[in-house]
Chains A and B, each alone.
Chain A
Amino acid sequence: MVNDILFYLLSAVAVGAALALVCVRNPLTSAMCLLLTIVSAAGLFGLLDAWFLAIVQILVYAGAVVVLFLFVTMMVDTDDMPRIKVSWAGGVAAVISFLLVGTIFVSVIIHAGQSVPALPELGSNPENTLAFGQTVKSYGQLLFTKYMLAFQLTGVLLLMAMLGVIVLSKRMNAEGRVEPSAPKK
């Protein structure tokens, strides 16, 4: 019962904050709304007993990503942002996308009509402990067995992203090499 109330409360906050995130004009307020969305999503993870995921969500997204957003938006002068006018075509596109998302929504509700639990027998079934990571340990076990290759590939991805940042942000000298430090004139 408490879980139900919490679920509806957190979902309402998440959806409301996400709406505000898009509608609010001040970018800083938007970033704070994003923070609120992320925290309530973390709360939803907690309701599903995925505590590790909830903590990681707060640490990584709320702690690192949103702070990064805040830093960047604070460095840019955001006072005189022009008001974006919604064009006619944009409005039509918005209506169409809304209808498409509505279709998905309806199909989820049709599913709910069959009264299946969203996450069937998670805790009670021992076979499910592998598929669903309640503890950090089960994440580790899966990460280093089944998802080992994906994990390694993520390493390549991060290295490449790092290279990309260097290439796209550093100054180059005439030989086409990244200069160790940008000269100040």
Chain B
Amino acid sequence: MNAETIFPSLQTMAESNQWVYLWPQIALVVLGLGLLVLEMLLPRKRVGTLVPAVALAGFALIGVLVCTPLFPTLADSLTVFDGMLLSPLSPGIFLFFIASSFLTGYLSMVCLPRQVLPRTEYFAVLSFVTAAILVLIHANNFLMMFVALETVTIGLYVLVGYARGQMTTLEAALKYLLTGAMSSAMLLFGIVLLYGAGAIKGIADPLNYQSVLQLFKDAQLGAGDSLALCGVALTLCAVAFKLGAVPFHIWVPDVYQGALTPTTAFLAVSSKAAGFVVLLCMLMFSFDAQSLKELLIPLLSLLAALSILFGNLGALSQRNVKRLMGLSGVSHAGYLLLGVVAYLTLGHVSMLYAIAFYLLAYMLASYAVFGVMSHVATNIDDFQEMQDYRMLLEKCPFLGGVLCVGLGSLAGIPPCAGFIGKLLIFICAVQAQLYWLLGIGIFGVVVSIYYYFGWMRAAVYRPWRSSQDSSSGKIPMESAQPSPEVPSVWSRLVLGALAAAVLLLGLFQGSLVSDPANPRQVSSQTSVPQDN
């Protein structure tokens, strides 16, 4: 082998491994390791309270530091690690995922002590998964993406099966494992086909996103040959599995029901959002890849339409609140896919902001609702029904209020952030002239109001009874329902902040819908550019 030609190229590769740009991820891994060490060192009695507190403080500290100028920004080059990673996108995305993990950690502090479960490992796995998500969202290479995705997925297998003593949890863990393995296999198959299609044409580094996109741009390379298109379709299947979009939604209701409520929230928010960021990163430079668009726009439109319809119609008849959140999450994935289709059609940067804002609103509202769910739940929360929420507003006005704000935002009712999110997505759809998808989206919103408000009605109104009913002894049964435990000061603070943020973002979006701090943004100052 020719040493003179190899070593310089190895050296440039090694020099592009700039670990300093990865400090948030490294800090999260160190936090996870530190928690494990802490468990060994601390006296047994202190572990249960101290380890979660240290974990939350760590998440908060990293989250704050990410917002400071310490955040790694790279002006001169688009990628680091020899093209394995995009240079960090924006502190907002980092903050989103770290905040989501913080909230998951907080909810698990509420939920874990109710059962006999190890505590430390939950937080350690959570911080490793968060680190992997932060690598995943700016992977620029299929190998890097696969390794990060596997790390996230294996961590989620552990978190889903955490309360293994219950039948529903075992069922959820097994179903998630099998469907997850299936989607990993499809992803690998897709990557192999893309690699093969690229390598045959002699593309250098055929695992790189941009190199792969060359396959679809360059007519000389046989733009849009069938092998590469098959690869794209299979890769899309795996991403759709992460998003929980129809037809890859089959795991969603069972897994959401069986997992611990904090894990369900993490699956609903972080895992889904990571899928969208990965999808957008792959498509970021695909504007002139005509043959790719010709395949993806109809496929993604179909996925979006099916997800919106199935998610909303399926949730209509659900009484179990965790399954309801799962199915409504499928429909939210559909709305977000609608935004992705619009972005793919027109390529306006403002559409990315619409998607990001929708994700933010979805995260805040979801955690508000899941937070109330973890407080209302008793020891085993897999069979929480809507009637468990009966008159929650009366029993505990705080939890009831937060629940109403969260559900209102998920349904898209005006003073909440969810309304603005849906509005922005629909404006994108109008700009991209996706009228039939828009129609399905609006139909979905109308349907969703039924089940969200059904839940809200259970929480707010006293069920109507005729005088015979009240004399025939149904009232005692209702009053026998356990009153939810009174939320602690910290819970009030966290849930109150979530509800306040939902309302505040609904009234005032500020620079969130067009972030001026992002250097990569093309000048589009308003979320609703009229220049179309």
Contact = CB atoms under 8 A, between A and B. Distances in A.
B230 A103 contact: yes
A110 B82 contact: no
B147 A153 contact: yes
Contact of A129 (B2, B48, B85, B164): B2
Contacts of A144: 14
A145 B1 contact: no
B29 A138 contact: no
A168 B174 CA distance: 12
Contacts of B197: 111
Contacts of A108: 227
Interface string A112-127: 0000101110000011
Interface string A141-185: 100111111100110110111011011100011111110000000
Contacts of A161: 154, 158
A176 B116 CA distance: 5
B6 interface: yes
Given A103-B230, A154-B147, A157-B147, A172 B128 contact: no
B226 A126 contact: no
Given A154-B147, A168-B161, A176 B154 contact: no
Interface string B469-501: 000000000000000000000000000000000
B113 A150 contact: no
B117 interface: yes
B131 A176 contact: no
Dominant secondary structure of chain B at its interface with chain A: helix
B144 A145 contact: no
B338 interface: no
A141 B14 CA distance: 10
A166 to B, nearest CB: 7
Contacts of B295: none
A156 B10 contact: no
B17 A148 contact: yes
Given A153-B135, A177-B47, A148 B154 contact: no
Given A107-B226, A176-B48, A148 B118 contact: no
Secondary structure dominating the interface of A: helix
Contact of B124 (A141, A146, A163): A163
B162 interface: yes
B121 A156 contact: no
A180 B308 CA distance: 49
A9 interface: no
A163 B121 contact: yes
Contacts of A176: 48, 112-113, 116-119
A166 B132 CA distance: 21
B116 A149 contact: no
B150 interface: yes
A150 B132 contact: no
Contacts of B10: 130, 141, 145
A21 to B, nearest CB: 15
Contacts of B2: 126, 129
A107 B232 CA distance: 13
Interface in B136-176: 143-144, 147-148, 150-151, 154-155, 157-158, 161-162, 164
Interface in B175-199: 193, 197, 199
B5 interface: yes
Contact of B193 (A104, A110, A130): A104
Contacts of A174: 116
A134 to B, nearest CB: 8
A153 B133 CA distance: 11
A76 B85 CA distance: 45
The 6 A-B pairs of least Cβ separation, nearest first, read A164-B158, A107-B226, A145-B13, A157-B151, A150-B147, A145-B14
Interface of B: 1-2, 5-6, 9-10, 13-14, 17, 22, 29, 36, 39, 44-45, 47-48, 81-82, 84-85, 112-113, 116-119, 121, 124-125, 128-129, 131-132, 135, 143-144, 147-148, 150-151, 154-155, 157-158, 161-162, 164, 193, 197, 199-200, 202, 205, 225-227, 229-230
